[in-house]
Amino acid sequence: MGVVSSVAGSRDDRAGREVEVVTLSAMTIVLLALLAAVADGAPARDDEPAATYDLAADFSLVRNPNGPWEYGFSASTSLAPDRFTLASVADARGTIGFWHPAAAYYPYLASNPTRRTRADPTRSWALRPGEVALEASNTGQPAIVRFVVPRAGRYRVKARFAGIHFGLSSTDVHVLINGVPVFDALIDGYGGDRAFHAIEGRSPRATFVGTRRMAAGAVVTFAVGYGANGTHFNDTTGLRVRIQADPRLRLGSGWNARVWRSGHARAGCRGRQSRRGMRARPHPPPDKLVLMPRRVFETSP
């Protein structure tokens, strides 16, 4: 049987003219459907321009989901994908806007649409331009924002977490790909706008950068939990996410993840992932390594 087979013939139409009759075989129909599906999810070509997605710049208090972005929280303390719940209540009354659950204030996401740092109404925390705030519930439900990959291709993901509460944030922060953790860190301190509060704490900031090919529909999850102390008091945590889809990106297993300690004395690690683990650079010394991402991104099928 040929790749595109058909049964052709002829018959007379009602006017007596001979018309060609083409009957597609079942195999042909299946092949055409497959070709259409492949075209729809085709990876980006090398000559296509790069596309950039920015959590804050794209933020919406009207739509959820909002394009590739989903704002919400976990229905439990788990980060399992099936626990994710979309936030359903938007509050755009103030200079800082919020997404909340239907029947609770926490967990929330908050955005600052302006080009200046904005403090919350109680002046307990402040959001820098380009930053979104997340806070868990006091029962341990993480606040979550997700990015659903719109098209198969090469993506570079950069996520920067920072404690932004005057009372010093104490949270656990995570990045997952299709439910698989690729980055876990603890935020302990203040790492936001210096004009609002001095940088302070053991690990006020944490940054993840990873580049991988991902399939259409892959889900990148960014989550903030209530931390090792088991309460969400003073836990407001800033998140800046920039995702670049670019066929020209060099792929491989390159990645890095960093945690900043107070005073910008940086302790962290950079390296290339291998089955044996990370080969850290000579500096900082190994005893300063405070973070070890468990896995790199999945490779699309």
The binder of Ca ion chosen from 235, 243, 246, 271 (CB under 5 A): 235
Determine contact, residues 238/128, Cβ cutoff 8 Å: yes
Six token digits for residue 177: 């790909």
Q: Counting contacts by CB under 5 A, is residue 221 touching Ca ion? A: no
CB of 234 to Ca ion, least distance (A): 7
Give the footprint of Ca ion on residues 27-46 (CB under 5 A): none
Closest CA to 40 of 149, 152, 154, 148: 152
Q: Select the span of 112-120, 174-182, 231-239, 287-295 touching Ca ion (CB under 5 A).
A: 231-239
Sequence-ordered list of residues with C-beta below 8 angstroms from that of 26, at least 6 positions apart, any chain: none
Give the footprint of Ca ion on residues 242-261 (CB under 5 A): none
Task: Point out which residues pair with 228 in neighbouring strands.
Answer: none
CB of 94 to Ca ion, least distance (A): 24
Residue 90 to residue 156: CA distance in whole angstroms? 29
Q: Counting contacts by CB under 5 A, is residue 161 touching Ca ion? A: no
Residue 71 to residue 110: CA distance in whole angstroms? 10
Residue with Cβ nearer Ca ion (236 or 300): 236
Sequence-ordered list of residues with C-beta below 8 angstroms from that of 282, at least 6 positions apart, any chain: none
The binder of Ca ion chosen from 97, 201, 227, 268 (CB under 5 A): 227
Q: Counting contacts by CB under 5 A, is residue 172 touching Ca ion? A: no
Q: Counting contacts by CB under 5 A, is residue 190 touching Ca ion? A: no
Q: Counting contacts by CB under 5 A, is residue 188 touching Ca ion? A: no
CB of 134 to Ca ion, least distance (A): 12
The binder of Ca ion chosen from 170, 221, 256, 300 (CB under 5 A): 170
Q: Counting contacts by CB under 5 A, is residue 131 touching Ca ion? A: no
Residue with Cβ nearer Ca ion (191 or 227): 227
Q: Identify the DSSP state of 82.
A: G
CB of 170 to Ca ion, least distance (A): 4
Number of residues that bind Ca ion (CB under 5 A): 5
Q: Counting contacts by CB under 5 A, is residue 226 touching Ca ion? A: yes
Which H or E run contains 33?
A: helix 26-40
CB of 169 to Ca ion, least distance (A): 7
Dihedral-angle region of residue 67 (phi above 0 means left; psi in -120 to 50 means alpha; beta otherwise): left
Q: Select the span of 2-10, 229-237, 261-269, 273-281 touching Ca ion (CB under 5 A).
A: 229-237
Six token digits for residue 296: 């790199």
Q: Identify the DSSP state of 257.
A: E
**CA distances for 190 relative to 22, 87, 106, 143, 199, angstroms:** 71, 26, 21, 19, 5
CB of 57 to Ca ion, least distance (A): 28
| Residues in contact with Ca ion by the rule CB under 5 A | 170, 226-227, 229, 235
